[in-house]
Structure 1
Amino acid sequence: MAKPINHAHWSNPSRLKTRHLLLLMHLDEQGSVLRAAEAARMTQPAASKLLAEMEGLLGVPLFERHARGVAPTWYGQVLIRRARSALLEIGRAQEEIAALRDGRMGQASIGTVVNPGTNLVPQAVAAVKRQHPDILVRIEMDYSRPLVAKLLDGQLDLVIGRIMDPEDGAELVFEPLADEPHSVVVRAGHPLAGRAAVAHADLEEYGWILPPPDSVLRARLETMFLERGLVGSRSTVETSSLPVTINLLRSSDLLTALPVEAVAPYVQAQQLAVLPLELGVSMESFGIVRRRGHQLSPAAEKMLEALRGTAQELYSAGAR
């Protein structure tokens, strides 16, 4: 058990240096002062001294020492999370300075959930690239929870998604954009596609392409099955990939639940069809998620402006 540190002798924590934070990362990754010292290219006594300095500056124990090495305390976990973000910010700052020095505007990293990732984000990026072709835009598509975690860690500048964990709300700003009702999507020519009306019971004999079990949409689909008294098919494919889902739909009689906007081009091309059924499954409004109080880079600022402008054109509700 780590010994408590006398809080009466706290020093100024702003004296923490980058070398302290780098060692902190190595200690967390290696779980050993010796291995962390080797990774940081210093001696074990030097690493131990640096760790003692950190704990002295903050007035709390950051790691518990045990027979197999070290493990972060709660204090340590807080500092590790913030240190990781700080080091990422320093790295991004170096990239931005290099870009500005070379006459470029830098880069913007965006995370998006599926629906806006098929229309809003590409259109906004195209608008930015027309005005500022030298901006590098990085786009990552995933579910909201992992994207927001990367936003909080400083790996992303903006997320188009939802805040799923209320405890993150104090650190984030959310601008709602649009609701996201889901419909049942099938291949064109599917046995259910030509019907004037489809009931929930008609879905039972067909297999489903479902999102992973830990997603909110999966939970809502399973709730819908239960509420409608449906057993749910044993023929299930799990994937979070939109291209995989679309290709599976086109080559099988499987069903899936997606926002109509996400597959509109395939429906217009008569490759996929949307069943005439009010599925009763929807997600909360998605929107632009940012870190509260965080100053965006010039490139990310341009991206934010383009997302807002494009959203006004795309969604009748506008950027409320």
Structure 2
Amino acid sequence: MSTSRSVLALVNRLRFKHLSLLVALDETGNLHQAAAEINVAQPSASRMLANIEEAFGFLLFERRARGLHPTPLGQVTLAYARRTLTDLQRFAEGLEVKRRGGHGQLTVGAIMGAAPDLLAMAVADLKAERPLLNVRILGETSDQIVELLQRGQIDFALGRFTHPLQHNEFDFEPLANESMRLIVRAGHPLGSRRSLRLAELIELPWVLQPLTSPARRLFEEELAHARLASPGNVVECGSIFATLQLVQNSDAIAMLPEPVVRDHLRAKLLVMLPIEIGRNLEGFGILTRKHETLAEPAERFVALLRQYSQTPRVAGGAATAA
């Protein structure tokens, strides 16, 4: 059979139910649970998997004592299955919005530390122009939104690379840098100090982002440069909101982007410690999948992000004239 005919035969045999089964198997690692997820009997799911693997001509999952694990080729197939199912879901949701008289859907991944005022102003303008456009904002850290982008679950991302090889998958357009600040609650014993050394803080409790995050890597690099060990008393937290709550209700120290803590500092809920954390965190920007054209609403939103990233913002977050 020629290559083109074999590809056509594969396409003809694959169904969305098959793709749903593959994703369910990846998430559960168990044929019985996966069958229940897609509402079919286990024998039917077993036959479906056998038919899929026969169609592809290779095993998609290794059968181990602790369950099913995707093979290397299976991982590639699963990535396609997730993208296809996500595209179908987004198409159906967009179609429903239009049926009800709406004007489409825009799903964006964004790191919450990246100039929240920039994101908020762009969203406000977009909604003012298109009040019936359904806008969804997902994610919080760079590793989360890159995964969403890989899976096709968002149109584009506002964030940064988390791995040196990701430029092979995504295009990146820088927008701005982030300045990091060490903060504590108002009334903290260190809050009134006018000078501090990083070494004085290592034995204190900290709330830090996960090790996979660029901000945490920056912090650990700063410690290494100062020949200091990592703090021992640490709560790892990927949520900006939870970090703010933890700091305000304990004596912990956190390192957060200046735009995130700006309003809390102004309201005297938090205090900034007099320590500079090295260089700015590597700039954030717009991440898009290579060789993929953005839909018109996404293009407009990107244009607004560019516009506000080039407009100076005063301490209150409002835009000022350039």
- Does the pair score TM above 0.5? yes
CA distance in 2, matches of 1:24, 1:277: 50
1:244-283 to 2 correspondences below 5 Å: 244-280=242-278, 282-283=280-281
- After TM superposition, give the deviation of residue 31 of structure 1 in Å: 4.8
CA distance in 1, matches of 2:88, 2:227: 54
Q: Is the 8 Å Cα contact of residues 31 and 46 (structure 2) preserved in structure 1? A: yes
- After TM superposition, give the deviation of residue 158 of structure 1 in Å: 2.1
1:138 aligns with 2:154: no
SS at match of 2:168: helix
TM-score, length of structure 1 as denominator length: 0.81
Match of 2:286 among 285, 288, 291: 288
Whichever residue aligns with residue 160 of structure 2, its letter is: R
Q: Is the 8 Å Cα contact of residues 63 and 72 (structure 1) preserved in structure 2? A: yes
Residue 14 of structure 1: aligned partner: 11
Deviation track 1:210-258 (CA, whole Å, cap 9, x = no partner) reads 2234434334323423432445554433323323333343344432212
CA distance in 2, matches of 1:249, 1:23: 43
Unaligned runs of 5+ in 2: 315-322
Q: Check 1:264–1:84 CA distance in 2 against 1; reply closer, same or farther (3 A cut).
A: same
Identity %: 36
CA distance in 2, matches of 1:8, 1:264: 58
1:181 aligns with 2:179: yes
SS at match of 1:76: helix
- After TM superposition, give the deviation of residue 51 of structure 1 in Å: 4.2
CA distance in 2, matches of 1:212, 1:303: 29
Unaligned runs of 5+ in 1: 1-6
- After TM superposition, give the deviation of residue 9 of structure 1 in Å: 8.8
CA distance in 2, matches of 1:274, 1:41: 54
CA distance in 1, matches of 2:93, 2:78: 23
Q: Check 1:35–1:250 CA distance in 2 against 1; reply closer, same or farther (3 A cut).
A: closer
TM-score, length of structure 2 as denominator length: 0.80
Whichever residue aligns with residue 142 of structure 1, its letter is: E
Residue 240 of structure 1: aligned partner: 238
Deviation track 1:259-280 (CA, whole Å, cap 9, x = no partner) reads 2221111222233232333221
Q: Check 1:51–1:198 CA distance in 2 against 1; reply closer, same or farther (3 A cut).
A: closer
Q: Check 1:156–1:8 CA distance in 2 against 1; reply closer, same or farther (3 A cut).
A: closer
- After TM superposition, give the deviation of residue 164 of structure 1 in Å: 1.0
- After TM superposition, give the deviation of residue 156 of structure 1 in Å: 1.7
Q: Is the 8 Å Cα contact of residues 162 and 213 (structure 2) preserved in structure 1? A: no
Whichever residue aligns with residue 260 of structure 2, its letter is: A
